Amino acid sequence: MKPFVLALAALNMADSISFMIVTSSLAMYIDTLGGSQDIYGFVLTVYSFMSFCGKPVLGRWSDMYNFSMPFMVSMSCSVLGGVFYAIAPAFANLHLALASVALGRILGGLGRANSALTFAYVARASEASERTSVSSLLGGLQMIGMVIAPLFSALLSNVDFKLFGVHFNNLNSVGLLLVLVNVIPQVMIYLFLPDLPKGEESDDYSDEKESEWLRMFRCTLKNPHIGVPFLTIFVFNFNFQFIETALAPSAQDALQLGPSQTSYILGMALVHQLSTNKVSDFHLLIFGLFVNFIGYALLYMLWYRGVPYIAFVLPVVVTASSYPFLGAPNRSIFAAAVDATPELSGLEGSMQSLLSMASSVAGFTSPFLITHFCMRTPEEVSQSNAKREFSPLALLSPLLGLAALYATYLAGDPGKHDKESEKDTVGETTPLAQMSPVHKRCSLQQAGKRARVRGSILCSVPMMPQTGDIYDDDDDELE
């Protein structure tokens, strides 16, 4: 595993562990400080909202300058957020204590926005053929972080000590853990993540009066391989939230999340293996969207009162199996299309941030829609003829998957047009033969820049292998 992949993997695990350990104890923490249910909802919302707002800022920052400072600043926000989260009980005033918790989550949300930087860095530092494999590995390790997070919560269950005059228990000691798990990857990022040269804008577009944001919007609408991934990532997160929101109340605590998490991790390993065996991102994505559609259709049909346990579990396993085929391949197709668009030269980080924001929008909207329009109360289930847990509006979920499947199919496989361009470019996926002379020259210039960037990475990191893929041929297992 290359050092920069190891550093990003540590960051992903830190993000998932931080999120899970706070989620499991935040409600009780707010309650012990004297906060209401509304305060709890506000703290949850402000975390997601600040992450949403921070993504375009960090993405544009990385485009204009480099990756080191955005990573360091965002991770420092996460560390500082852990401090404010931990010291809240030290304030005698109720409002100051709750404000300290809220400020901690605001800073944590800004820190979490660096997830967009991770994808932008992978897109710029890796060859197109490596991106899906690397993204799958990072996604799998992130899920492992979510699985092992309860172990950290268990370690904090008996905490009782004083430090600098602040009493720490099992609730506010979570803040100290946030500091620790974020400092470690911050050090690794500093040591093992080579900075990349600033992404330079093409001379053919730098003097245009059109704003950069308007140019990004225009290219998104014009190129289906850029626009459709926005729909796909929205559907991915919306449907994931559907399971997450509806599972516990519908199962009445009879079903745990274990099967979902296990299927996700195994699916990430499978996507990694298929990617290294040169199965196209397009076919991986088509398969994932089809399985996603089937899974959520089964969810509506099989979740009814009195259903056998195995029939209740089946849709969860099917839907969870589709998630790995939606994330990494979709990101790879998007990154390749952005790389191949001369107008977006030097805007790769901003584009990755915008894609992440589409996922955040689904996170904002789905819980309200699901709880108010899709899920039924026990009384409503009793009054229905089929005793289904969901109203017919829950069919929106499989229909969204079907719409994304159809849009992806219409966009077509970008890999079909790669063979001619691979002879002329380094790691590119768009046919230069179909470009105008100006666009062809611009794309070739960008290919040369990316080749120099990757060469600088190989030379700047000690003991970095000079040839080969991210994984050696003799060691292609998950590390």
- Model confidence pLDDT, tens digit, residues 256-284: 333 344 344 444 444 444 444 566 889 88
Residues 110 and 34 in one domain: yes
Give the model's pLDDT for residue 366. 80
Looking at the structure, tell me whether residues 358 and 453 fall in a common domain: no
* Token couple for 9: 């993997």
The dihedrals phi and psi of 391, each to the nearest 5 degrees, come to -80, 165
Out of 1-10, 34-43, 139-148, 166-175, pick the least confident. Answer: 139-148
Q: What is the pLDDT of residues 235-253, one digit of tens each?
A: 988 888 787 767 656 664 3
The pLDDT score that the predictor gives to residue 127 is: 76
Residues 239 and 179 occupy one common structural domain: no
| DSSP classification of residue 467 | S
Q: What is the average pLDDT score of the chain? A: 76
Of residues 424 and 405, more confidently modeled = 405
Q: Looking at the structure, do residues 438 and 361 belong to the same domain, yes or no? A: no
Percent above pLDDT 70 for the chain: 75
pLDDT at 226 over 90: yes
pLDDT of residue 361: 85
Q: Are residues 331 and 216 in the same domain?
A: yes
Identify whether residues 170 and 235 lie together within a single domain. Answer: no
Residue 180 has pLDDT above 90, yes or no: yes
| 201 CB burial (10 A radius; 0-12, 13-18, 19+) | buried
Is residue 314 located within the same domain as residue 380? Answer: yes
Share of the chain above pLDDT 90, in %: 22
Residue 220 has pLDDT above 80, yes or no: yes
Query: What pTM does this model have?
Result: 0.69
Q: What is the pLDDT of residue 232?
A: 94
- Measured N-to-C along each axis, helices 94-112 and 173-192 cross at an angle, to the nearest 10 degrees, of 30
- Among 134, 166, 199, residue at a domain's last position: 199
Lowest average pLDDT, out of 55-69, 178-192, 273-287, 322-336, goes to 273-287
Q: What pLDDT is attached to residue 303?
A: 86
* DSSP per-residue letters across 408-452: HHHH--GGGGHHHHHTTSSS--S-GGGS-HHHHHHHHHHHHHHHH
Domain region containing 336: 202-412
Q: Are residues 163 and 217 in the same domain?
A: no
Please report whether residue 219 resides in a domain: yes
Cα–Cα nearest to 200, from 445, 394, 388: 445
- Looking at the structure, tell me whether residues 405 and 440 fall in a common domain: no
Residue 475 has pLDDT above 80, yes or no: no
Q: How confident is the model at residue 203 (pLDDT cuts 50, 70, 90)?
A: low
User: Looking at the domain assignment, is residue 143 inside a domain?
Assistant: yes
Mark whether 242 and 317 lie in a shared domain. Answer: yes
Residues in the chain: 479
Mean pLDDT of 221-227: 92
pLDDT at 198: 62
Higher pLDDT among residues 37 and 89, named by residue: 89
Same domain, 241 and 154: no
pLDDT(425) > 90: no
Across residues 325-350, what is the average pLDDT? 86
Number of domains in the chain: 3
Looking at the DSSP bridge assignments, the partners of residue 375 are 390
Q: Is 291 exposed, middle or buried (0-12, 13-18, 19+ CB in 10 A)?
A: buried
Q: Give the dihedral sign, CA 70/447/9/231.
A: positive
pLDDT, position 192: 87
User: Does residue 294 register a pLDDT over 80?
Assistant: yes
What average pLDDT does range 19-25 have in this prediction? 81
Q: 68: exposed, middle or buried (C-beta count within 10 Å: 0-12, 13-18, 19+)?
A: middle
400 & 438 share domain: no
The reported pLDDT for the residue numbered 287 is: 92
Of 467 and 130, the structure prediction assigns the larger pLDDT to 130
